[in-house]
Structure 1
Amino acid sequence: MTPNTPASATITVAAWSQDSYQRVCNKVSRRLIGFLFVCFVLSFLDRINIGFAGLTMMADLGLSGTQFGLASTFFYIAYIACGIPSNIALARVGARRWIGSLMIAWGLASTCTLFATDANSLYLLRILVGITEAGFLPGVLLYMTFWFPTAYRARANALFMIAMPFTAGFSSALSGLILGLDGLWGLKGWQWLFLLEGLPSVLMGFVVFYYLDDRPQQARWLNHDEQALLQQALDAEAASGQAPASEQRRGLLTELVSPRILLFCLVYFCLVNTLAMIAVWTPLIVKSFNSTDSNQSIGLLAAIPQVCTIVLMIVWGLHSDRTRERRWHLVLPMMLAACGWILTALSNHAALQLMGVCMAASGSYSAMSIFWTLPDQSLSFGARAVGIAVINAVGNIGSALNPLVIGWLKDLTHGFGSGFAYAAVLMIVGALLALRLPTPERSVGAAP
């Protein structure tokens, strides 16, 4: 029991019925998941909207393809470099203040991209977006460990992370409409894009200051007994999931470079390569199936994998929580994604190729939501903030490398087949490595 837990916290987790335990977790989920989902939609939208802006921005600013691509590279360099210090800051100042500040900062940086006049100013602005956005995803993943017992973590992660396929699915239509405002009030369409998609993050940042609570003990929307039940479940998991005492004595750095944390980094690197490929290349991959399709048709077809992904993420996360099994719920969707890339590479039929992309997208995103239930179980409490940020940073090296590798392979072979093979091999390697990840056999408080 923590020092701030009220006197009524003498009640034990075991003394509560399973219905009461579920009711508290559902109450937390209703309070937090929808709100964090909206925040992540805004975050991911501000990350990927430059791709849509590039349809007209490149010509207006006189940018070459290489210069425009470098803007994304610089974003990810800044994103990778700043994730770890950002999570350290969150652990020290609290999620409410830090996440709120990040949203205001990246919203302003993204909005200010409308003032870009050449390649150098675009590079600077995208670096600022990368710096300010870097701490959001690892920060929220850390924040969720303060609120959701492991038995509920997979479904919580899935409901939060469907923001990525959801945003990818609807942003093309939204951004297309905004680009149609070209010339209104003297602004280019891409300038309207950064303005209208950046400012909502600023506004939501101020809402975060008033809406989020750092810990269950501070949540006035939970009564004392609910706070006690939730905190005891989390404390029990923290005690059972600590890193070995001998390793803790060797210090934080030793724990972070331990073999199991390096293994998490490698698995996530393999997984993120496919996530990046889905995010960046899906429209062009779909277009390669039938080059005569209109851009509107390609947009609709490219949304199909995202719809499939949302459904599987929710179902798979719920099933993992109900069975309290993690390892095979991580490995199997990774193998599904690998099979999807292989099907796409070997088939010459457009429908089968699209099915392969659906398998790759659904499998990789479902695996990601399960993956993030595991690292905190292998880290001491003091190392959790840095450890999650380290794993996220190493994995996102894949986000920076994938566009370069796939682009090079496409230029070399004049097609996506070799890129599909590259992604499939990495997913198979990642799945085999995932079999060796430490996973908890049983969670405190079984999910129904």
Structure 2
Amino acid sequence: MSDSIMVGPMADPNKRDRLNGISKKNFGKLMPLLIIVYIISFIDRTNIGMAKEALSADVGLDAAAFGLGAGLFFAAYAFLEIPSNLLMHRFGARFWITRIMITWGLISMAMALTWNEWSFYVLRVLLGIAEAGLYPGIILYITYWFPRHERAKAIGLFLLGVSLANIIGAPLGGLLLQLDGMAGLHGWQWMFIIEGLPAVLLAFVVWFRLPDRPSGASWLSSDEKELLEEQLAAEDDGQGAKAHGFRALIPVAKDPIIWVVIGVYFTHQVAVYSLSYFLPAMVHGFDANMSSLTIGLITAIPWIAAAIGSTLLPRFGTTVMRQKSMVSGGLVSVAIGLVIAAVSQGNLALAVVGFSFAAFWFFVIQSMLFTFPGRRLSGAAVAAGIAMVNMFGLFGGFFGPTMMGALEKSTGNSLSGLWLIIGLAVFGSLLAWALRGSKNDSMA
């Protein structure tokens, strides 16, 4: 039996139906805006994938320098995850997400000033600093609004933003690159400027439309607010409820399951970000005469598959056992898809099928993994736990692109780095079986 039926007021069918109605309202009011925020953030952090060839020609970046610069974003982002999430827990989501969006939008636009390797590295580091805390902050925000059995679905819908960003961003980037020469700017400069501006503008929408907690939701009645808070409090049986500030890290660091989540998430992020940054180059490798728009359209196909996966499957992850099975099986499926792509032998259609099969599972896996900190921790420790998982996991975002660039440079084959990702995905699938929920969680 699902834990969603066993905890607190969810044991009463009438209250359960009322809570489901409240969640439906919250999905409709919150998730569209959160998805749009993440679409823009992901476009701005990964659009350099479309600019890789142009940056090589105009600035002189080779594959290794590009991979290092792509990865430096995550090094800076990761180190500031925990303080950023603790600050959001203290000052509120509306203020903190608005601040993040304004600074990352301005620095994303400043990427147009890149003139050599070191300026590229510095701007990528600054972008990571500016955007630090957005993803774990929103995952924490979801725990304020949705009971446990709804969180995998909510996180899956939020992660739909990643897929839509790649579906929209790749063709859009291809079109913007064709503005090359307009007003004396390169196409990649126009891409950074035009794609960074929406973050600054949307920040003001977030400020006026995003309440910090259910108590500030104009669409919920007083009774609905009270019932939701009662359910969330009944589920809050994790460790660290009384910890504050950096002391909230103590129960996080002591929890072995959080370290399991971190290990699995690392292998997952290596796959996601290696594909995000290097898929356009791998597609281009099949036909050197392919236009930037065609590359963008083909690159979008695996992310359409990822969008389908993140929409269809997370809703079934309502118990710990289901979540473990979907994480482990999903990582095996990622490995299988990448094997198909790696052995495609110049067959672009077969490679796209492999990439699409792997990408289908990306955000199914991620939506399951980020339910575990909320199951095992409470209070400020949840904020610290989510941020710590993302911090260490995102080193995969640094490691993956860096290794992909180095292996491409040493072998001359843009697909050679896939074998490293395949091995890590298999390891992550085995590690996932060590995942556990809290004492009140049913495994069924």
TM-score (norm 2): 0.88
SS at match of 2:361: helix
Q: Does 1:328 align with 2:325?
A: yes
Q: 1:287 to 1:179 in 2, by over 3 A?
A: closer
Aligned-partner Cα distance in 2 for 1:207–1:245: 32
Q: 1:299 to 1:346 in 2, by over 3 A?
A: same
SS at match of 1:326: helix
Which residue of the other structure, out of 198, 222, 228, is the alignment partner of 1:230? 228
The amino acid that maps onto 2:74 is Y
Is the contact made by 1:270 and 1:430 (CA closer than 8 Å) also made in structure 2?
A: yes
Is the contact made by 2:337 and 2:356 (CA closer than 8 Å) also made in structure 1?
A: yes
Counterparts in 2 of 1:357-396, with a 5 A limit? 357-396=355-394
RMSD: 2.9
Q: Does 1:304 align with 2:316?
A: no
Q: 1:224 to 1:383 in 2, by over 3 A?
A: same
Aligned-partner Cα distance in 2 for 1:168–1:311: 13
Q: Deviations over 1:59-118 (max 9, x none)?
A: 444555554444323322211221111111111111110001110111111122333444
Aligned-partner Cα distance in 2 for 1:268–1:323: 16
1:200 maps to which residue?
198
* Matched-pair identity in %: 35
2:335 maps to which residue?
338
Per the TM alignment, residue 436 of structure 1 is displaced from its structure 2 partner at its CA by 0.6
Is the contact made by 1:151 and 1:324 (CA closer than 8 Å) also made in structure 2?
A: no
Per the TM alignment, residue 38 of structure 1 is displaced from its structure 2 partner at its CA by 0.4
Q: Does 1:315 align with 2:312?
A: yes
Which residue of the other structure, out of 74, 77, 91, is the alignment partner of 1:76? 74
Per the TM alignment, residue 347 of structure 1 is displaced from its structure 2 partner at its CA by 4.8
SS at match of 1:102: helix
Aligned-partner Cα distance in 2 for 1:362–1:325: 17
Aligned-partner Cα distance in 2 for 1:179–1:149: 44
Q: Number of matched residues?
A: 431
Q: Deviations over 1:19-64 (max 9, x none)?
A: 3222110100011110000000111111112333444344444555
2:141 maps to which residue?
143
2:5 maps to which residue?
none
2:157 maps to which residue?
159
Which residue of the other structure, out of 257, 261, 278, is the alignment partner of 2:258? 261
Q: 1:245 to 1:208 in 2, by over 3 A?
A: closer
Which residue of the other structure, out of 239, 243, 251, is the alignment partner of 2:239? 243
Structure with the bigger RCO (C-alpha within 8 Å, sep 6+) is 2
The amino acid that maps onto 2:252 is L
Aligned-partner Cα distance in 2 for 1:42–1:370: 23
Per the TM alignment, residue 236 of structure 1 is displaced from its structure 2 partner at its CA by 1.2
Is the contact made by 2:167 and 2:303 (CA closer than 8 Å) also made in structure 1?
A: yes
Aligned-partner Cα distance in 2 for 1:124–1:365: 30
Q: Which residues of structure 2 form unaligned runs of 5+?
A: 1-7
2:275 maps to which residue?
278
The amino acid that maps onto 1:340 is G
Is the contact made by 2:241 and 2:377 (CA closer than 8 Å) also made in structure 1?
A: no
Q: 1:357 to 1:80 in 2, by over 3 A?
A: same
SS at match of 2:212: coil
The amino acid that maps onto 1:281 is F
Q: 1:79 to 1:322 in 2, by over 3 A?
A: closer
SS at match of 1:257: helix
Q: 1:56 to 1:407 in 2, by over 3 A?
A: closer
Is the contact made by 2:171 and 2:293 (CA closer than 8 Å) also made in structure 1?
A: no
Farther-moved stretch of structure 1 (61-70 vs 199-208): 61-70
Which residue of the other structure, out of 407, 415, 427, is the alignment partner of 1:429? 427
Is the contact made by 2:48 and 2:277 (CA closer than 8 Å) also made in structure 1?
A: no
TM-score (norm 1): 0.87
Per the TM alignment, residue 160 of structure 1 is displaced from its structure 2 partner at its CA by 0.8
Q: Which residues of structure 1 form unaligned runs of 5+?
A: 1-10
Which residue of the other structure, out of 171, 174, 177, is the alignment partner of 1:176? 174
Is the contact made by 2:9 and 2:16 (CA closer than 8 Å) also made in structure 1?
A: no
Q: 1:67 to 1:301 in 2, by over 3 A?
A: closer
Per the TM alignment, residue 404 of structure 1 is displaced from its structure 2 partner at its CA by 2.2
